[in-house]
Structure 1
Amino acid sequence: MTDNSTRLYGIIGKNIKSKRKGKKLGQEELAKSISLSRSSLSNIEIGKHQPSISTIYEIAIALECAITDLLPSIKVYEEATLKIDEKYKDIFNSLPENISRKNRNIIKEILRKDD
């Protein structure tokens, strides 16, 4: 799995955990409601397990929220997957919202870290 996938599923897991706790549900209770083991749900919440889209939907239904509440926004995902020097992240994150994706990617390439 790529670093970006790992980060994506980590964000999804954190969002699931946050929604679950907001509903005052334990892992066991949520897991049972969607036919998962508690340990599987725990692994999803810490980003160790990559749930299918149907599992994410089932979790959203059980938590009575939109699936988009569990997925990161594009901005959050981009920020989590930036491979640019820390000193440039504020510059990148302050770009106007209406800047095109193509231009954002060009700027990202310019600011990219040397690996």
Structure 2
Amino acid sequence: MGTDSRRRALICAAGAIALSTVAVLASAKPKARVIKVVAKKFEFVPGEIHVKQGETVTLQFTAPEVLMGFNLADFNLRTDIMPGKVASLSLTPDKTGKFTFLCDVFCGSGHEDMIGTLIVT
């Protein structure tokens, strides 16, 4: 193999490495922020969740007492929250404002007051 052929081969190899490095960096997403939420009689803790528009977050729910539900209708998100298990939902809000979430599984006489607010800025 001549000097020009080796030079071309090295340039091609370096270009391929550079392109694959750029592709890997471009496809790497930042890790979603985890927000832990406890659903207990008869409140969500925290009762206000603050996120930025376009920020991907993972909501991790636990319920220490009884079966609960989480419903954030404005973002079409819903899950059951079973005692002793973690329920996770991913959210990337595409709009700003204040949005109400609530427990949609009857959990006792204070159930109707079990609401919270997602605040997206």
TM-score normalized with structure 2 length: 0.25
Structure with a larger share of its residues in helix = 1
Specify the structure having the higher radius of gyration (Cα): 2
TM-score normalized with structure 1 length: 0.26
Structure with a larger share of its residues in strand = 2
